[in-house]
Amino acid sequence: MKKIEEVYGKAYLFVDVRSPKEFAEDHIPRAVNIPLFSNEERAIVGTLYKQVGKDVAINKGLEIVGHKLPEMIQEYQEYKEKKIVVYCWRGGMRSGSVVSLLKSLEFDVVQLEKGYKDYRRFVREELDRVPIPPLVILYALTGSGKTEMLQQLENSIDLEGLAQHRGSIFGDVGLKPRTQKMFDSLLLQRLYEIQEEDHVFIEGESRKIGNTMIPLRLWNMMQKATKVKVLCPTEQRVERLYKEYCHSLDVPLLVQKIHYIEQHLGKKKAEDLIEMLEAGKVKEVIQIILLEYYDTLYKHTVDSKEYSFEVHTVKELESCFA
C-alpha cells in the first residue's frame, strides 16, 4: 500500500474502481475510471450488505465481476507499462481485489491506503498549506474578457473554468457545473502546478461561484492581491457574450433565467426581453441585460477598487509585470 502523500503529483497512473456516479462527483485529477460495478450494480450490492449481510453481498459482487473480468483485464492491458495506483472508497475490497489480480498478471501496481476517503482528507489539508505565490487579481465588468486573458497566461488560475460556472444567474448556461469536491481537487492540482511562479493572475470573484466556494485561505489572499482593471467597450462585451452563451441557443433556459431577474428589471422589461428573444433579437437582449442588470449590479463594486494598473489586452497586462 501507498499513502496519498507518497504518490500525489508523482509519475503514477491512478485507477479509480468506484462506480461512475462516485467518480463523477469527484476523483483524483487525471485518474482513469475502470469501475468494478455500474451504478445499478453498486446499489444492488449495497442493499444486500445492509439488509441481508456481508457474505451475501460479497458473493453477489463476485458473481457480477466474474462476468466482466475478461473485458476488464483487456482494459487494463492498455496501462501495462505504467506504474499504477488503484483506489476505491476507503481502500477496501474493491481496490484490494483488483490489485491482487493485476499483481498476478505482473503489473506494477499498488493500492492507495484508505482510498478516496483519505485523499479527501489530504485535499482539505493541502488547500490550507500549499504555497501560493503573490496574486494579481483582475476586475472588470461582465463580458470584458478576463477569462480569455487568464486562459492565455501560463501563470493563472481560472476559477470559473475549474467550477464550470461563470458565477452569475446565467453562469451555468452551456456548462455542466462541478461539485465542490471536484472543484477542490482541480484547484489543488492547479496550485501545485503554479507554486513556483513569481506571481499568479486570478479573476475577481465573490467567494461563491455557482454552488462552489473558494477556500477561505485563497479567498483571504485574493482580498490582499494587487488589483488590475480590465477595460472593454460595450460592443465587444456584447459580441463576446453572444459567442460564449449562444453557440447552441437554449431559448427556454434563457427565458427561465430572465424570469429569475424579473425583480431587478421589472415585469414589463422582462416580458419585452422574452418577446425579443423569441423573435431572434439575441444581441439586443444581451445588451439590455448587460447594461440594465449586470452593470447595475456590479459597476459600483468594480469602480470602488483601487487599481495598480488599467489594461485592455493580455499583452498590456503582461508588460505591467515584466
> pLDDT tens across 255-290, in order?
999 999 999 999 999 999 999 999 999 999 999 999
% residues pLDDT > 90 (the chain): 87
State how far the Cα of 286 lies from the Cα of 245, in Å rounded to an integer: 10
pLDDT band for position 118 (cuts 50, 70, 90): very high
Residue that is written with C-alpha cell 483571504 in the block = 220
How many other CB atoms are there within 10 angstroms of residue 249's CB atom?
Answer: 14
- Determine the pLDDT at residue 54: 83
pLDDT band for position 124 (cuts 50, 70, 90): very high
* CB contact at 8 A, 149 and 240: no
Q: Which CATH number fits domain 135-320: 2.60.120, 3.40.50, 3.90.550, 3.30.70?
A: 3.40.50
DSSP result, 247-301 = TT--HHHHHHHHHHTHHHH-HHHHHHHHHHHHTT-HHHHHHHHIIIIIHHHHHHH
State how far the Cα of 110 lies from the Cα of 84, in Å rounded to an integer: 6
Q: Which of 107-121, 241-255, 275-289 has the lowest mean pLDDT?
A: 241-255
Cell numbers placing 63 = 458473481
DSSP 179: P
Give all strands of the β-sheet with 32-33 in edge-to-edge order: 32-33, 13-16, 83-87, 108-111
- Determine the pLDDT at residue 225: 97
Residue 128's SS3 state is coil
**Which amino acid is residue 94, in one-letter code?**
R
Q: Which of 91-95, 114-118, 158-162, 227-231 has the lowest mean pLDDT?
A: 91-95
pLDDT band for position 146 (cuts 50, 70, 90): very high
Residue 2's SS3 state is strand
- Determine the pLDDT at residue 245: 81
pLDDT band for position 84 (cuts 50, 70, 90): very high
Q: Which of 24-33, 53-62, 197-206 has the lowest mean pLDDT?
A: 53-62
- Residue 88 annotated as catalytic: yes
- Determine the pLDDT at residue 248: 76
pLDDT band for position 55 (cuts 50, 70, 90): confident
Q: Do domains 4-125 and 135-320 have the same CATH topology?
A: no
State how far the Cα of 62 lies from the Cα of 101, in Å rounded to an integer: 13
CA atoms within 13 A on the CB side of 117: 8
- Determine the pLDDT at residue 176: 94
State how far the Cα of 318 lies from the Cα of 322, in Å rounded to an integer: 6
106, 112, 285 from 4: Cα distances, Å:
23, 7, 50
**How large is the greatest C-alpha to C-alpha distance in the chain, in angstroms?**
71
Would the pLDDT of 97 be above 90? Answer: yes
Residue 61 or 176, more confident: 176
Strands 208-209 and 212-213: antiparallel
Is 3.40.250.10 the CATH classification of the domain at 4-125? yes
Domain ranges of the chain: 4-125, 135-320
Would the pLDDT of 27 be above 90? Answer: yes
State how far the Cα of 84 lies from the Cα of 124, in Å rounded to an integer: 24
* CB contact at 8 A, 192 and 9: yes
pLDDT band for position 317 (cuts 50, 70, 90): very high
Catalytic residue selected from 88, 232, 246, 320: 88
Mean pLDDT, to the nearest integer, of 76-83?
96
pLDDT band for position 174 (cuts 50, 70, 90): confident
Mean pLDDT of the chain: 95
pLDDT band for position 246 (cuts 50, 70, 90): confident
34, 97, 111, 209 from 80: Cα distances, Å:
14, 17, 16, 40
